[in-house]
Each structure stands twice: as C-alpha cells, then as structure tokens.
Amino acid sequence: MTKNIAVIRGDGIGPEIVEQALRVLDKTAELYGHTFNYTDVDMGGCAIDKYGDPLPEKELQKCIDSDSVLLGAVGGDKWNDVPGHMRPEKGLLRLREGMGVYSNNRPAKIWQQLADASPLKKSIVDKGIDFIIVRELIGGIYFGEHKTEGDTATDVLKYSESEIERIGRIGFETAQKRNKRLCSVEKSNVLDSSRLWKKVMHSLAEEYPDVELSDMLVDNCAMQIVKNPSQFDVVVTENMFGDILSDEASMITGSIGMIPSSSLGATTCGLYEPIHGSAPDIAGKDLANPIGTILSAAMMLRFSFDMPKEADAIEDAVSAYLDAGYRTADIMSEGMTQVGCRKCGDIITENLKKE
C-alpha cells in the first residue's frame, strides 16, 4: 500500500522528533511491504522566517492533498513579538480549519514501565489506564458569540444535531477499533445543549450495535478519571468539557512526552502530533523525547490508514525500549539508562518486528 504523508517538522525540537518518527515509519513500511512518500511542509515560526506567514496557502494545500499529516511542534520565544494574527500557533488553527478536522482524539495510556511517575496511587494504576478522549474541536462555547455589556459578560454554548452527530460517529468508530465501549459525557441535568447531545448519541447508537454506549455527567467523569480510570475505553464529549478532561487525563499518565494525539474530520485524512510543545530550550541538544511523535505515527497507521498490525508493532517496539530500561532525560529515573533523542529512535527502530 502507498500513502502520501505531509510532514511538518516545525520549530524547536520538532525536526528532531519528527526525524525519529519517520525512521520508525520507514522500517514499518519495509517490514510490511508499504510505501510512505513524504512531502515537507513549512508551518509555524520557520514559515514566518521563510515566507512572512505561519502557513502559506501553498503549504496548506500540500496537507489537504495528502493522505495524512504528521506534525512535530511549532512556536517559540523567537516569534513572541510578531503580531497576534501572525503567531506560529495561528498556522495550526488555519491548518485545522483548512483540513476540516473537527475531532481531537487524545489517548491517556499508562505504560507500566512508567507507572511510578503517575500521581495516582499504585492500586489504581495497577488496574491499567488506557483510554481515548474524543473532543469536539470547532463548536460549542469557544466558538459561540462572546460579548460584554457593562458589568455583564455572555458566552453562548450552541450545538446543532449535525455537529453532535459527526463527532458522535468519530466516537463510535474509534470504539469499534478498540474495545467497543463508548462513554458519552455531558451535563444533561442542567444544559439544553447536553440534553440534545444525549438524544443524538442514543439515536446514533442504533447504527453501532457492536458498541456499548453509556452516559456520564461531566463532573462525575472528572472524578472517575482519577478514581477509576480503568473503566474507560473511549470518551466522547463537547469542546470545553473535552479541553478540561483531556488535560486532566494527560496528567495521570505521568509523562507529557509520551502522549500522541490526532485530529480528524469527515475523511480519513488526519492531523497527528504529540501534545507537548516545541521546547526551544533543548532544541538541537539531542535531549528531546520522540516517543509522543512516534506514537502519533502509530495512531496515523491505525486510524487513517487502517493498519492496526503495523500500529501494534510500533507500540510493542516502544514497550520493548522501556522494558530494557532506556529513558530520555524527561522520564529518567534511578537505575535506568539515559539516552538521547537519536539513540531512542535507533533502539525503537531496531525493536520493530513484524507481528
């Protein structure tokens, strides 16, 4: 199978971590008989320096024309003084809009080798943490009307049935590729928008009889994530709730450097990136942890390219790396062997084996 991947190396540690992910993808392609073609795309600070624009139209078009996009990280102190509408992060917002991605999918997975880094007590972590939060990305209160009149401020939370349905389908389809359990999170005891959310989700459930649907109020979900996270497989929720819950979930895993994410829309062309930033303070020092980017590449194979065995192989290679006691500086602990970004990529690539 041949796939065309747009590659945004970006700023700071972006080029370093992306390079390791591409090495892992190349080895995966070799093992499984695929061809991955890469097209470099300038976005973020590097694009400002080169074009005076964080995402020129021709660079955006490369992403739209691809089968999926792999992103490292963008931004840094160097561009803090540029006008707000030209900040590197504006390129990312333009990219999401241009690609039409309305679903942000962020896994929360505890690697047992790093269990001690979780702030949760051992008895909870030992049950396992491995779920995905599917967050609606371009609607809700963040995109409603905002106004302040005198001493009163108003923010409008609005969702249509079609907006809920399209994110709901992403939730159900994600659950189908995992353990077939979907938890819909809302605040239907108070909000009309949540009552509509619940109605649409239950209507959709009839089309996905293989997925078990449950409902949970958002305040209860926030508690359950720290009390009993092993109960979750896939969580689907609206924009603001998802923003808060996904940040909470990222903290219980113990390491931001290990967490991938994806943004999807109506097609299989997705945007895949680690959740961490560009870390300009360690750029070029071979200190960055590339695992979040490598796992983002695995998500691309699983959710956009329908290559579950290949994704499993990458995740197994990461697990073998951790089993062997290797750690980059951000997750280093006593008794482990510290390695740099390049060596981390070397070891994970060497660990790759066909399932």
pLDDT of 66 > 90? The answer is yes
pLDDT of 355 > 80? The answer is no
Nearest CA among 142, 141, 123, 210 for reference residue 174: 210
Q: How far is CA 247 from the centre of its chain?
A: 11
Q: How far apart are CA 222 and CA 288, in angstroms?
A: 31
| pTM of the predicted structure, to 2 decimals | 0.88
**pLDDT score recorded for residue 327:** 96
Catalytic residue among 11, 42, 67, 243: 243
**pLDDT score recorded for residue 84:** 80
Say whether 119-252 and 1-101+257-355 share the same fold: yes
User: Annotated catalytic, 306?
Assistant: no
Amino acid identity for residue 138 in this structure: I
What average pLDDT does range 67-91 have in this prediction? 92
**pLDDT score recorded for residue 143:** 86
User: Annotated catalytic, 247?
Assistant: yes
**pLDDT score recorded for residue 89:** 87
Catalytic residue among 130, 142, 198, 215: 142
Degrees to nearest 5, angle at CA 210 with 209 and 216: 80
What average pLDDT does range 321-335 have in this prediction? 94
pLDDT of 85 > 90? The answer is no
Taking only the tens place, the pLDDT of each residue in 245-289 is 999 999 999 888 899 999 999 899 999 999 999 999 999 999 999
pLDDT band for position 175 (cuts 50, 70, 90): very high
Give the residue carrying structure tokens 């109506």: 266
pLDDT band for position 300 (cuts 50, 70, 90): very high
User: Annotated catalytic, 142?
Assistant: yes
Q: How far apart are CA 187 and CA 177, in angstroms?
A: 27
Catalytic residue among 49, 77, 126, 219: 219
**pLDDT score recorded for residue 81:** 87
Sorted by where each begins, the domain ranges of the chain are 1-101+257-355, 119-252
**Among residues of the chain, what percentage have pLDDT more than 90?**
90
User: Annotated catalytic, 243?
Assistant: yes
Length of the chain: 355
As a dihedral over the C-alpha atoms of residue 325, residue 328, residue 331, residue 334, rounded to 10 degrees, the angle is 50
Tell me whether residue 24 is exposed, middle or buried, using C-beta atoms within 10 angstroms of its C-beta: 0 to 12, 13 to 18, 19 or more: buried
User: Annotated catalytic, 53?
Assistant: no
Catalytic residue among 102, 187, 272, 326: 187
pLDDT of 93 > 90? The answer is no
pLDDT of 161 > 90? The answer is yes
* From the candidate CATH numbers 3.40.50.300, 3.40.718.10, 3.40.50.880, 3.50.40.10, the one assigned to the domain spanning 1-101+257-355: 3.40.718.10
CA distances to 221, 296, 311 from 105, in Å = 17, 11, 16
Q: How far apart are CA 96 and CA 50, in angstroms?
A: 21
pLDDT band for position 232 (cuts 50, 70, 90): very high
Q: How far apart are CA 75 and CA 79, in angstroms?
A: 7
What average pLDDT does range 194-217 have in this prediction? 98
What average pLDDT does range 115-140 have in this prediction? 94
Q: How far apart are CA 226 and CA 232, in angstroms?
A: 11
* From the candidate CATH numbers 3.40.718.10, 3.40.390.10, 3.40.50.720, 1.10.1740.10, the one assigned to the domain spanning 119-252: 3.40.718.10
Contact 352, 313 (CB under 8 A): yes
**pLDDT score recorded for residue 181:** 98
CA distances to 25, 27, 39, 69, 307 from 3, in Å = 11, 15, 11, 11, 11
**pLDDT score recorded for residue 120:** 96
Q: Determine how β-strand 212-217 pairs with β-strand 181-186.
A: parallel
